[in-house]
């Protein structure tokens, strides 16, 4: 790690294959950031068990998510690619930080309120302290910037408050993390309800395109995309479905809206939808074949995970050692 480069950290939950919106909005940006920053990217397995998981499925999803990071272009040599649970420092710092976090602060987290009303039979303590674990993830690596979606902004704000409070008592221990709001290429909306964001939890199987969907499935989903009763491919008020398809097409082909409008002048929505479906399938094809290759090479995947865990441990232990000393533990 070069000392003068800014540090980036982000984690994703392993539960659920990323959809096209996650890929275009987040993963592609992560890949680009490797050029400029020292990056650490992780699979948040510890976070995922705040909701009950099937163990066999979870294990498979952790491996799949990890392989996907590499397939998408994250370089395990250049960046730290790790599984959160492989590095015990996360849980350890989370405990310490929980003693510097107020009950009232955690009670105000909107995600806690949402999730506890959705799962009233399992409002476990982990669900409540989840943002403290996330703060630990961030502060352990002294991250300068944290790329997150808008839904995680409140958690990042809390991480900043915890850092500030801790630094206020003990001096400069933690770097203040800034949110890195992705100047994302595309905000991808649901293909079935284009005023709603594409979501992992959408019940309608045609609403989201998963990045591991095969070519035919992708094309079929785009053919069924909800549009409007007009015929003109252009970006106008009230044409949410078409605008969504245009911005997806723009993101995967690097064409501008003007170029797209003239490309489809005089053609119908059918041609346009097919073109978008094909362009998305073409864009995802290299990632998908790379994913297959990596998934079949179990030894390589395991080796990357182990090396990632070691690097993650080493970098984060420095922070934790400092914390131990500051709070007054006995350090040898």
Q: How far is the CB of 42 from ligand TRP (least distance, A)?
A: 7
Q: Which is catalytic among the residues 7, 63, 197, 221? A: 197
Q: Distance (Å, rounded) from C-alpha 63 to C-alpha 139?
A: 25
Instruction: Classify 41 as helix, strand or coil.
Output: strand
Is position 200 annotated as part of the catalytic site?
yes
Residues in region 147-166 near ligand TRP by CB under 6 A: 148, 152
Q: How far is the CB of 128 from ligand TRP (least distance, A)?
A: 14
Contacts of 254 (CB under 8 A, 6+ apart): none
Cα dihedral sign, 53-308-7-212: negative
Q: Partners of 7 in the beta sheet?
A: 38
Choosing from 40, 138, 242, 284, the residue that interacts with ligand TRP (CB under 6 A) is 138
Measured between alpha carbons, how far is residue 286 from residues 71, 136, 212, 294 in Å? 8, 35, 11, 12
The answer to whether residues 144 and 175 touch, using CB atoms and an 8 Å cutoff, is yes
Q: Which is catalytic among the residues 6, 187, 200, 307? A: 200
Number of residues that this document lists for the chain: 332
137 binds ligand TRP (CB under 6 A): yes
Minimal CB distance residue for ligand TRP: 11
Q: How far is the CB of 140 from ligand TRP (least distance, A)?
A: 10
Q: How far is the CB of 208 from ligand TRP (least distance, A)?
A: 16
Residue with Cβ nearer ligand TRP (10 or 192) = 10
Choosing from 44, 70, 245, 304, the residue that interacts with ligand TRP (CB under 6 A) is 44
Instruction: Classify 278 as helix, strand or coil.
Output: helix
Sheet holding 7-12, edge to edge: 80-83, 38-43, 7-12, 145-147, 178-180
Residue with Cβ nearer ligand TRP (183 or 229) = 183
48 binds ligand TRP (CB under 6 A): no
Q: How far is the CB of 32 from ligand TRP (least distance, A)?
A: 17
For residue 89 the two structure tokens come to 């420092």
Is position 197 annotated as part of the catalytic site?
yes
Q: How far is the CB of 76 from ligand TRP (least distance, A)?
A: 19
Judged by CB under 6 A, the stretch of 8-16, 59-67, 96-104, 294-302 that binds ligand TRP is 8-16
Where is 286: in which H helix or E strand? helix 269-296
40 binds ligand TRP (CB under 6 A): no
50 binds ligand TRP (CB under 6 A): no
Measured between alpha carbons, how far is residue 25 from residues 10, 244, 247, 260 in Å? 14, 13, 12, 20
Where does this chain bind ligand TRP (CB under 6 A)?
A: 9-11, 13, 44, 47, 134, 137-138, 146, 148, 152
Which residues carry out catalysis? 115, 197, 200
């Amino acid at each position: 790690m070069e000392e003068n480069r800014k540090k980036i950290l982000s984690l994703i939950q392993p539960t659920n294959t990323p959809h096209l919106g996650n890929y275009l909005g987040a993963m592609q940006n992560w890949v680009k950031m490797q050029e400029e920053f020292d990056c650490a990217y992780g699979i948040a397995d510890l976070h995922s068990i705040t909701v009950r998981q099937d163990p066999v499925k979870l294990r498979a999803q952790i491996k799949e998510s990890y392989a996907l990071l590499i397939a998408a272009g994250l370089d395990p040599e250049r960046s730290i690619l790790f599984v959160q649970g492989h590095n015990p420092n996360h849980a350890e710092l989370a405990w310490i930080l929980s003693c510097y976090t107020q009950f009232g602060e955690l009670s105000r987290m909107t995600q806690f309120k949402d999730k506890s009303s959705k799962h009233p039979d399992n409002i476990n303590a982990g669900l409540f302290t989840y943002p403290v674990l996330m703060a630990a993830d961030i502060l352990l690596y002294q991250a300068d910037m944290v790329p997150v979606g808008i839904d995680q902004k409140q958690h990042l704000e809390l991480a900043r408050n915890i850092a500030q409070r801790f630094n206020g008592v003990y001096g400069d221990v933690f770097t203040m993390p800034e949110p890195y709001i992705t100047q994302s290429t595309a905000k991808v909306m649901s293909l079935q309800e284009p005023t709603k964001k594409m979501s992992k939890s959408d019940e309608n199987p045609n609403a989201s395109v998963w990045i591991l969907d095969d070519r035919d499935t992708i094309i079929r989903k785009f053919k069924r995309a909800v549009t409007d009763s007009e015929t003109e491919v252009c970006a106008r008020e009230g044409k949410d479905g078409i605008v969504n398809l245009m911005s997806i097409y723009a993101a995967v082909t690097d064409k501008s809206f003007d170029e797209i409008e003239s490309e489809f002048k005089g053609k119908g929505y059918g041609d346009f939808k097919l073109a978008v479906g094909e362009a998305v399938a073409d864009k995802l094809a290299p990632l998908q074949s790379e994913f297959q290759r990596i998934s079949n090479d179990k030894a390589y995947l395991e080796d990357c995970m182990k090396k990632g865990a070691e690097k993650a441990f080493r970098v984060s232990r420095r922070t934790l050692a400092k914390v131990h000393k500051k709070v007054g533990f006995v350090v040898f």
